């Protein structure tokens, strides 16, 4: 009977002692207390049969601690079933079956902000701008994704380096819609509309310098045509400056009739030759 009394004391006192310690550590819940009591009873009872009353105290203590561990580690709720207990789950609504990090948030292998299970472009380079599907955008169509592209408004057709800026050296680009009437350096309305868009792109790409090259058809004296081509280039330069492009980024020259794009034997060909071209120069 004496041994039995010790065992019963262990059953009552040991869980209370351990529960009090746990409460001081701000770890206790009702479920945990019940697990500790059950563990203590089981530990004390088993040890009583094997080792008597003193052993029951030790067994009760061990059982209580084990009950605490089992409840705390193995039986915490996990509402979304991702293997991360709710108490540590920073993304508690993860769909079933989605792989998660240790904090319960879905994997995002390419770190683009779109989790793998929603990402339709899972291997996006780091730093690229993506849409809701995780796919990168390329606003200027140069093959370098937005967010990585240091020259995000490069004109169409210009070859670029890995950073999205024009390749080292001069790249000739024809300003298709900047043509002139016969013997005139005045910009047409449609040319102004085209240059408005070009100016906007140039303002947003400060790493590009521009050389404007004027041309004429072969009608008239060569010396006169050389001067006319220079005036045409200056008309474009002045207009771009008026739209916010820094004058320090612009240079100009005239080529006269020396570099035709098309035959001067037809009216259409001569109209194509009365033009201005831009030479993009990487800094």
* 114 falls within a domain: no
Distant-in-sequence, close-in-space partners of 162: CB < 8 Å, separation ≥ 6 = 144
> What average pLDDT does range 237-265 have in this prediction?
94
> What is the average pLDDT score of the chain?
76
Q: Residue 243 is part of which domain span?
A: 170-282
* 53 falls within a domain: yes
Give the domain CATH number at 178. Answer: 3.30.1330.60
Q: What is the pLDDT of residues 156-184, one digit of tens each?
A: 667 778 888 776 555 555 555 688 889 99
* 100 falls within a domain: no
Checking if the pLDDT of 58 tops 70, the result is no
Q: How far apart are the C-alpha atoms of 40 and 57, rounded to whole Å?
A: 9
How many folded domains does the chain comprise? 2
Residue 24: its pLDDT value, please?
A: 37
Q: What percent of the chain has pLDDT over 70?
A: 67
* 270 falls within a domain: yes
Q: How far apart are the C-alpha atoms of 99 and 89, rounded to whole Å?
A: 13
Residue that terminates a domain, selected from 46, 74, 102? 74
* 99 falls within a domain: no
Top-ranked range on mean pLDDT: pick from 16-25, 185-194, 247-256: 247-256
Checking if the pLDDT of 272 tops 50, the result is yes
* 153 falls within a domain: no
Buried/exposed code over 11-28 (b: 16+ C-beta within 10 A; e: otherwise): beebbeebbeebeeeeeb
In a 3-state reduction of DSSP, which class is residue 186? coil
DSSP secondary structure string for all residues of 131-168: -TTS-B--TT-SSS-TTT-SSTTPPTT--B-TTSSBPS
Q: Which residues make beta-bridge pairs with 280? A: 171, 210
Of 115-119, 162-166, 279-283, which range is least confident?
Answer: 279-283
Q: Are strands 170-179 and 208-214 parallel, antiparallel or unpaired?
A: unpaired
* 251 falls within a domain: yes
Of 19-23, 77-81, 129-133, which range is least confident?
Answer: 19-23
Residue that terminates a domain, selected from 41, 74, 107? 74
* 15 falls within a domain: yes
Q: Which residues make beta-bridge pairs with 170? A: 281
Residue that terminates a domain, selected from 33, 51, 74? 74
């Amino acid at each position: 009977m004496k041994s039995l009394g010790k065992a019963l004391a262990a059953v009552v006192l040991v869980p209370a002692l351990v529960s009090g310690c746990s409460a001081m550590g701000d770890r206790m819940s009702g479920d945990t207390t019940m697990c500790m009591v059950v563990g203590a009873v089981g530990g004390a009872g088993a040890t009583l049969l094997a080792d008597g009353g003193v052993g029951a105290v030790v067994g009760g203590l061990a059982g209580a601690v084990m009950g605490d561990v089992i409840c705390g580690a193995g039986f915490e709720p996990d509402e979304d079933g991702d293997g991360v207990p709710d108490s540590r789950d920073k993304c508690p609504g993860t769909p079933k079956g989605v792989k998660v990090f240790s904090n319960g948030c879905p994997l995002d292998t390419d770190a683009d902000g779109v989790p793998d299970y929603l990402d339709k472009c899972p291997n996006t380079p780091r730093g690229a701008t993506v849409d809701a599907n995780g796919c990168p955008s390329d606003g200027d169509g140069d093959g370098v994704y937005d967010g990585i592209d240091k020259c995000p408004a490069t004109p169409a057709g210009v070859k670029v380096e890995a950073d999205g800026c024009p390749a080292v050296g001069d790249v000739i680009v024809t300003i298709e819609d900047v043509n002139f009437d016969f013997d005139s350096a005045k910009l047409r309305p449609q040319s102004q509309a085209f240059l408005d868009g070009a100016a906007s792109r140039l303002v947003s790409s400060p790493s590009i310098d521009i050389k404007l090259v004027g041309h004429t058809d072969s009608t008239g004296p060569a010396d006169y045509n050389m001067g006319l081509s220079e005036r045409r280039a200056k008309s474009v330069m002045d207009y771009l400056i008026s739209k916010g492009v820094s004058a320090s980024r612009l240079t100009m020259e005239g080529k006269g009739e020396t570099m035709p794009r098309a035959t001067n034997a037809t009216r259409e060909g001569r109209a194509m030759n009365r033009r201005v071209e831009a030479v993009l120069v990487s800094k």
